[in-house]
Amino acid sequence: MSVYQELAALIRPGGVFLNGDHLGFALYLPTFRSVAKAVRDRREAQAFGQGERENWRQWWDALQGEPGMQDLFAEREHRFAWRTHDEQELVLALHEAALQQAGFHEVGVIWQDMDNQVLMAVR
């Protein structure tokens, strides 16, 4: 990931970079992935089950319907059309390896809730 190499050039030695995202468990951890999905589905049903609030999918659908967003969504679809659902998930190990390769000497998860994680990297 070239963005991490660019970040390494901008962050001074000893500086910290944080990346908080949905970083899915690796494909070789199917039970972890299954448990995380079950918890996510249960939490979503509890939070949005009454239909009073937008869920993540509804939010994206509403955003796509906003004036001026059609071209941006078309570009998004074009850029990511080759990916399968599993490939769309960001995998923690990929980010850790890319950060280490870019020159960050300490890389690890500093916070986690299932597969939502904050990755910390020290330059």
* SS3 state of residue 60: helix
Asked if 115 and 22 touch (Cβ cutoff 8 Å), the reply is: yes
Query: Range with the lowest mean pLDDT among 5-9, 27-31, 35-39, 86-90?
Result: 86-90
- The average confidence (pLDDT) of the chain is 88
Tens digits of residue pLDDT in 36-71: 999 988 988 888 776 677 877 888 899 999 999 999
Relative orientation angle of helices 2-10 and 92-101, to the nearest 10 degrees: 50
> Band of the pLDDT at 94, cuts 50, 70, 90?
confident
Query: Greater confidence, 27 or 72?
Result: 72
The domain locations on the chain are 2-122
Fold of the domain spanning 2-122:
Rossmann fold (3.40.50)
Report the distance separating Cα 102 and Cα 97, nearest Å: 9
Cα–chain center distance at 73: 18
